[in-house]
A and B are shown apart, each in its own frame.
Chain A
């Protein structure tokens, strides 16, 4: 009888052994992070550089001894710039690879589709998507976004316009999901700066003439026009403004005011057009590192992925544990204003190991987040079109 019991015990022990060792491995084995970037589809031009930066950075952290005595293992998946494929890839990352964080989702639809899986499984999601709706999801703090949303961008535009002395601003906006939100925020911030938004026309971007919209705008004699447009409609609007003899300020987004615009409308029509766009922190050593990794001028998304990996690694270092919850709980503690300012994860991990407080500022900017997970502020660059070229006006 006794023999039997001990046999049974041995059997149970034997069965349990793999689980015990797996449990132990979960605390000493590598910490896994996943990238979910577009390698194919509309985002295909951005994904490969994002992964390259992530891999280089993880390599650097591991070479310096890893995080909390453990290595980081990076698993990269392709979201195909498609929410359906993105969900399948995310399920693999979460259920099979057991990652603690998913990094770099690019298209807003992919991020929105993947987000519920992340918060249900307590996996941290770092994204570069811009849609305002993302951080309004009930994500319990499991989403962090380094891309400024429409709200922040509109506020920045309004502050700038007010600072140039414009008293009245009229907005012409292409029909997009964010056109109305964008104008409301513009209007609020202008009012704080002593200026006024005097009207908004939302137009169908596929039209070939905007005469009536422009008449409506110019009737109010605005000091500045806020052109919330894309390149093709902006070209038409600029030509018609030129013809109408409008001499006030023209202000638009950087993605609309590109080289193609200048080619289309010519130097004279574009003269004086001011554009703005979120900018990486061009003077930061972290930005220089991303440039060195890529061997080319980095795009904003690669810079943000640099910061995602660094934030995840530092939060794990601070917590001493590699779970998604650990990253979630410690993410804001590594942006401690009283701590030593750092721009690299390796440097920060050493300080954290020595029990010191750190204040991380990355390649994309200061990396401070609101409770909803949005970035509080980032750098913006302002360019002006002069004689058929863009000239950097200022970087704030």
Chain B
């Protein structure tokens, strides 16, 4: 049981990192990004290939994964610079599918649909599974903590203020003399970099990645984590990620609680419960569990 809980804590941490990344792009800068699984995949593949094929150490592979994902983030942001709202959502969704198709077809590089196995990680096979998982929980959650702190500082700084201004109305921001495109590129790079880091951590913990691991469903869970937790707040993003993993995994234990159901019915019930809980959260807490407090409002009252 402990092993299982620790492994789920690692997955929750990866989801939290992605939710934090999305929080910069969507929560602060207001750009709808449905392509985040693409950045997750780039981070995972970059780190996996560098360590498996070029035998680079993790301390180099992980920063490289962040850089690769951030660079792709900048490229996507440049291509989509003039797109907003639904259009941006569709193009980014398309981007993540392109990444998955490239991973399936460029067999010489990615080994195609067979995927990459035996991705190294410190202590695999040497440490007991319990210690190995524990080590990854520590690594992943330190990353989450540092990322949350840094982004919270960024959000409180003038940089964050400009992003929020762009979110509310980018014309006004540019009239005020802010170079909107540059801020958007920076936000995309930071967000995509965090998703890339999540991908790298995931790949090395899991030891195996394949194009099928990067389905749009991952994006949907992260978007749900952020909106349920509270768009725009760091604690909300992390709490939402934990909630989503707890929900998707906790419902596995339904079989023991509700007797007399066939596994296919339990599978359907799981999906229904996950959907209903998220609808309830968003109905009764539209701003998420920890909503963003309005800073202008605070100014007025003080």
Interface residues of A (CB under 8 A from B): 35, 37, 39-40, 47-48, 51-52, 75-78, 80, 82-84, 87-89, 91-92, 94-96, 107-110, 112-113, 116, 120-121, 131, 133, 137-138, 177
* A96→B252 CA distance, assembly (Å): 11
Q: Which of B245-259 contact A (CB under 8 A)?
A: 248-249, 252, 255
Cross-chain contact of A83 among B4, B125, B213 (Cβ < 8 A): B213
Evaluate whether A109 and B212 lie within 8 angstroms (CB atoms) in the complex, with A51-B263, A78-B266, A95-B1 already known.
yes
Q: Are B113 and A109 in contact (CB under 8 A)?
A: yes
* A112→B1 CA distance, assembly (Å): 23
Q: Are A83 and B267 in contact (CB under 8 A)?
A: no
Evaluate whether A39 and B264 lie within 8 angstroms (CB atoms) in the complex, with A83-B208, A83-B210, A113-B210 already known.
yes
* A116→B1 CA distance, assembly (Å): 18
Q: Are A76 and B255 in contact (CB under 8 A)?
A: yes
* A10→B238 CA distance, assembly (Å): 45
Q: Are B107 and A39 in contact (CB under 8 A)?
A: no
Q: Are A112 and B210 in contact (CB under 8 A)?
A: yes
B114 within 8 A of A: yes
Seed contacts A109-B113, A112-B117; 17 additional CB < 8 Å A-B pairs:
A35-B263, A84-B215, A88-B7, A88-B248, A88-B249, A91-B8, A92-B4, A94-B3, A95-B1, A107-B212, A108-B113, A112-B208, A113-B213, A116-B117, A120-B129, A121-B129, A177-B112
Q: Which residues of B contact A96 (CB under 8 A)?
A: 1, 4
Q: Which residues of A contact B117 (CB under 8 A)?
A: 112, 116, 137
* A87→B264 CA distance, assembly (Å): 18
Q: Are B207 and A76 in contact (CB under 8 A)?
A: no
Q: Are A116 and B212 in contact (CB under 8 A)?
A: no
Q: Are A84 and B113 in contact (CB under 8 A)?
A: no
* B4 CB, nearest partner CB in chain A, Å: 4
Interface residues of B (CB under 8 A from A): 1-4, 7-8, 11, 107, 112-115, 117-118, 125, 129, 206-208, 210-213, 215, 217-218, 248-249, 252, 255, 262-264, 266-268, 270-271
SS of A interface (majority) = helix
Q: Are A113 and B208 in contact (CB under 8 A)?
A: yes
Cross-chain contact of A116 among B208, B252, B263, B270 (Cβ < 8 A): B208
Q: Are A77 and B252 in contact (CB under 8 A)?
A: yes
Q: Are A112 and B4 in contact (CB under 8 A)?
A: no
Q: Are A89 and B114 in contact (CB under 8 A)?
A: no
* A92→B118 CA distance, assembly (Å): 21
Cross-chain contact of B213 among A52, A75, A95, A109 (Cβ < 8 A): A109
Q: Which residues of B contact A92 (CB under 8 A)?
A: 4, 249, 252
* A305 CB, nearest partner CB in chain B, Å: 12
* B228 CB, nearest partner CB in chain A, Å: 19
For this complex, 26 residue pairs linking A to B, each with C-beta atoms less than 8 Å apart, are A37-B263, A39-B267, A39-B268, A40-B267, A40-B271, A47-B263, A75-B255, A76-B255, A76-B263, A76-B266, A78-B266, A82-B217, A83-B212, A84-B215, A87-B206, A88-B249, A94-B4, A107-B212, A109-B113, A109-B213, A112-B115, A112-B210, A113-B213, A116-B207, A177-B107, A177-B114
Q: Are B267 and A112 in contact (CB under 8 A)?
A: no
Cross-chain contact of B264 among A47, A88, A120, A121 (Cβ < 8 A): A47
* A77→B267 CA distance, assembly (Å): 8
* B128 CB, nearest partner CB in chain A, Å: 10
* A120→B206 CA distance, assembly (Å): 13
Q: Which residues of A contact B266 (CB under 8 A)?
A: 39, 76, 78
Q: Which residues of A contact B211 (CB under 8 A)?
A: 109
Evaluate whether A88 and B212 lie within 8 angstroms (CB atoms) in the complex, with A78-B263, A82-B217, A121-B129 already known.
no
Q: Are A78 and B270 in contact (CB under 8 A)?
A: yes
- Which residue of B has the minimal Cβ distance to A98? B1
* A95→B113 CA distance, assembly (Å): 28
Q: Which residues of A contact B8 (CB under 8 A)?
A: 88, 91
Give the top 5 A-B pairs by smallest Cβ distance, nearest first: A95-B4, A39-B267, A76-B263, A95-B3, A78-B267
- Which residue of A has the minimal Cβ distance to B8? A88
- Which residue of B has the minimal Cβ distance to A42? B212
